[in-house]
Amino acid sequence: MTSQTPADGAGRPAAKDPWDLPDVSGLTVGVLGGTGDQGRGLAYRLAVAGHTVVIGSRSADRATAAADEIGHGVLGRDNAGCARESDVVIVAVPWEGHAPTLAGLREELAGKLVVDCVNPLGFDRKGAYPLVPDEGSAAEQAAALLPDSRVTAAFHHLSAVLLQDPSVERIETDVMVLGESRADCAVVQALAARIPGMRGIFAGRLRNAHQVESLVANLIAVNRRYTTHAGIRLTGTGL
């Protein structure tokens, strides 16, 4: 983990280097809904990066079968077992299963760092559009349902197709990481950086998660127009 930041001459703590991220290589990562495309892709990439990865499912048998298909030592458990055995737990279930899944795992997720990557979207004949959860965003719903967990939001803008394709060696994209605790966000940023080509960028508190989740509707439009798997890059001095 990072060292304490020295104080400046006036006794104020100097601003911490935002690229000074903790060593997360020893963390076990769980993926709820890990039998789906996004979960499989993240599990594959993080396992290749050297993490112990546990994918979760509503069915332990489905989880085991999917884990065997992914390989690289990925383990399969039911969602509760996945949550219990992991240090960091990525939520990768469809929006419609988000609230019931998390409400049922409050105990197992207590004390854990939860990373929500769920994009509440609707689809009609005009394409994808954002839904507006009562809580403001999927991430804020997670925080409301999991008061004993450390909830962050990240990995919204990744292509599950690219994540799962072993011929793709680098995924050149930024991962916007949101949360109430800078230390927790730094862990998630460091986790993103374990995947070649990716950077984790702190992008604000959970109250700003809605527009990050919603941006996926725009990326889907880009994908359709240009037949691609669009990601995002943030630019600017210091980035």
Contact 178, 203 (CB under 8 A): yes
Among positions 162-221, residues that touch ligand NAP (CB under 6 A) are none
The site that binds ligand NAP (CB under 6 A) totals a number of residues, namely: 24
Residue 62 binding ligand NAP, by CB under 6 A: yes
Residue 72 binding ligand NAP, by CB under 6 A: no
Residue 89 binding ligand NAP, by CB under 6 A: no
- Of 49, 52, 60, 94, the one binding ligand NAP (CB under 6 A) is 94
Chain-centre distance of CA 198, in angstroms? 13
- Of 18, 80, 85, 95, the one binding ligand NAP (CB under 6 A) is 95
CB of 36 to ligand NAP, least distance (A): 2
Contact 86, 29 (CB under 8 A): yes
- The tokens of 42 are what? 């993240």
Q: How many CB atoms lie within 10 A of CB 68?
A: 11
Q: Which amino acid is at 52?
A: T
Q: What letter would DSSP give residue 18?
A: T
Which C-beta is closer to ligand NAP: that of 22 or that of 144? 144
**Rg (the chain; Cα; Å):** 17
Choices 4-12, 87-95, 179-187, 193-201; region in contact with ligand NAP by CB under 6 A: 87-95
What's the maximum distance between 2 C-alpha atoms anywhere in the chain? 61
H/E stretch holding 122 reads strand 121-124
- Of 31, 48, 83, 93, the one binding ligand NAP (CB under 6 A) is 93
- Of 64, 149, 152, 159, the one binding ligand NAP (CB under 6 A) is 159
Partner residues linked to 200 by β-bridges: 175
CB of 228 to ligand NAP, least distance (A): 13
CB of 3 to ligand NAP, least distance (A): 34
Residue 37 binding ligand NAP, by CB under 6 A: yes
H/E stretch holding 123 reads strand 121-124
- Of 21, 24, 27, 39, the one binding ligand NAP (CB under 6 A) is 39
Residue 152 binding ligand NAP, by CB under 6 A: no
**Rounded Cα gap, residues 191 and 193, in angstroms:** 5
- DSSP-assigned states of every residue in 116-132: E----EEEETTEEEE--
Which C-beta is closer to ligand NAP: that of 59 or that of 208? 59
- Of 30, 35, 105, 109, the one binding ligand NAP (CB under 6 A) is 35
- DSSP-assigned states of every residue in 158-196: --HHHHH-TT-----EEEEEEES-HHHHHHHHHHHTTST
- Interacting residue ranges for ligand NAP, rule: CB under 6 A: 33, 35-39, 57-59, 62, 92-97, 101, 117-119, 156, 158-160
